[in-house]
Structure 1
Amino acid sequence: LGLAKRTKARILQASTSEVYGDPEIHPQEESYWGNVNPIGPRSCYDEGKRCAETLCFDYHRQHGVEIKVARIFNTYGPRMHPNDGRVVSNFIMQALRGEDITIYGDGSQTRSFCFVDDLVDGLIGLMNTDTGVTGPINLGNPGEFTIKELAELVIEMTGTSSKLVQKPLPQDDPRKRKPDITRARNTLGWEPQVKLRDGLEKTIAYFRELHAAG
């Protein structure tokens, strides 16, 4: 932000849907302040992103820095790291290895999965807006799926014999996650185009090749 101030650069803050915490409203819109435990096991990430948004808006108000704040919901696609700990890559890699697929809780918690191409289009659209548009703007796919539905889809699409195994739900794990993208539609003319099955097909093909290469 200091560099952006000195060079009069436009700066993008890649924020996150995790600023909403375990939300008490659904779907989540940008005006919602969130429900975040400030001292829980997830708080370092959640509060770090919330603090980053605060700093962006302070620099914008005090120094006129041109900011663009995007709240990014779950994103997936080829070139993810196979061991990054994200649910899509975890499920696909477990399926390709023939391992049991790990679900935390009963799998009824929901997430919204945005294909990476759609996200990039949204970020470019946000950066191309005029100076009056600061965000925050939700960027995510409003299609909502349970974690169990995702696991079952991965099993079907990979043809694996993997079984679902349940483990305890981590503390403060959000029960629901779905973006309200009204602001993105109206401001950017943006909404995701890639369906989950189509995006998973490309992602599974990438991981299958990676797995085959050892």
Structure 2
Amino acid sequence: MRKFVPDDSDSNINIYSNWKPGLRVLVNGGAGFLGSHLSERLLQAGHEVICLDDFSTGRLTNIEHLMSNSRLTVMEHDVRHPYDLDVSIIFNFASPASPPDYQRDPVGTLLTNVIGALNVLELARRTGATVVQSSTSEVYGDPHINPQPESYFGNVNPIGPRACYDEGKRSAETLFFDYHRSFGVDIKVGRIFNTYGPRMRRDDGRVVSNFIVQALQNQDITIYGDGKQTRSFCYVDDLIEGFLRFAVKSPDCCGPINIGNPAEIPVRQLADIVIAMTNSKSRVVHLPAAVDDPQQRRPDISRARQELKWQPRVNLERGLEKTIRYFDALLSSEKVVEAV
């Protein structure tokens, strides 16, 4: 198997294209929202992609347009169980990521993140592969400082209903850095902030998909809490570009690095924007606040700018326009199926 050789050139926007085509790349969670976009970009660059997914939250429809590509292999597997593949680079994106999904099976979520991290690190240790971990802004919990730099240790409730995900990702980071220090595994840890775009599930429970689907159907837009809590939304193409840039950096660049959009907006303002962009007749209703819901979420991306020469390029309105178009088409197709 050809050894992955990083290229630290910073001049090319699509820096990952400096990899020589033909690398064998494993994408855990490759049929999920983010994993499918990542798999698509890797195939476009001429690489061989193994899409590994247990399809608990990932969907074949996310990758069906890629299935005719002979360089794509789809493998149904649960990362909590060991596996052995000969690959040059691994992207570990396998985990439920929305609160309804990860709270549905909290024990399974924790094990997916911890045992899944252990198994992927053991694979990287055996093969010498570079392994890129999708961590999360949830490691910061309900932060006491804003924006959140990578040096901030966070404010996480370890026994709350969100802890299965928050602490699962924090524990995974511990494993990644211990494997790096103890065994020399080449790791990259990126902390993902709220990301949105096409291929989100309409029922995944995240705020952007909830608001858009509700607005398109003229239903009440539901906000948990007073709506003053803030989020920073990164369009999926920008997020994937950040991870691809990170992956090609030399082994001494291992993170953690925040990858997200620093443009902060109150949730209530997002609802008003979506209503206006969809010409919806929806009204906003408030429900009780979710337990341990962070009141602020904004990344400090100084490290990403400096080390990856990366920053988001798609503004919120443009990203929402693309996402609304996707959900409008999805809902329209569902109506056609129901009518048949």
With normalisation by structure 2, the TM-score equals 0.63
- Provide the residue aligned with 1:81 in structure 2: 201
The RMSD of aligned alpha carbons is: 0.5
- Residues 1:113 and 2:246 are matched in the alignment: no
Q: C-alpha offsets along residues 53-81 of structure 1, whole Å, 9 cap, x if unaligned?
A: 00000100100000000000000001111
Q: What corresponds to 2:326 in structure 1?
A: 206
Gaps of 5+ in 1: none
Is residue 16 from structure 1 mapped to residue 131 from structure 2 by the alignment? no
Structure 2 residue 159 is matched with structure 1 residue 36 = no
26, 46, 71: which one aligns with 2:191: 71
Letter in 1 for 2:125: K
- Who is 1:2 aligned against? 122
Q: Distance in 1 between matches of 2:223 and 2:205?
A: 13
Q: Distance in 2 between matches of 1:18 and 1:139?
A: 13
Residues in 2 aligned to 1:33 and 1:154: alpha-carbon distance in whole angstroms: 34
Q: Secondary structure at the match of 2:223?
A: strand
- Of 224, 248, 268, the residue aligned with 1:148 is 268
Moved over 3 A (4+): none
Partner of 2:146: 26
Instruction: Please give the secondary structure, in 2, of the residue aligned with 1:151.
Output: helix
CA distance in 2, matches of 1:21, 1:79: 26
Paired-residue identity, %: 63
TM score, norm. by length of structure 1: 0.99
Tell me the residue number matched to 1:171: 291
Q: Structure 1 residue 44: deviation in Å?
A: 0.5
Distance 1:28 1:65 in 2: 27
> What is the distance in 2 between the residues matched to 1:64 and 1:58?
9
- State the number of aligned residues: 214
1:166 CA drift (Å): 0.2
Aligned counterpart in structure 1 of residue 245 of structure 2, from 125, 130, 143: 125
Query: Equivalent of 2:259, from 124, 129, 139?
Result: 139
Secondary structure of the residue that 1:213 maps to in structure 2? helix
Give secondary structure in 2 for the equivalent of 1:145: strand
Which is greater in Rg? 2
Asked whether 1:45 is paired with 2:187, we answer: no
Measure, in 1, the Cα distance between the counterparts of 2:293 and 2:329. 32
The unaligned stretches of length 5 or more in structure 2 are 1-120, 335-340
Higher relative contact order (CA 8 A, sep 6+): 1
CA distance in structure 1 between the partners assigned to 2:162 and 2:253 by the alignment = 30
1:36 counterpart SS class: coil
Instruction: Find the aligned partners of 1:144 and 1:192 in 2 and give their Cα distance.
Output: 13
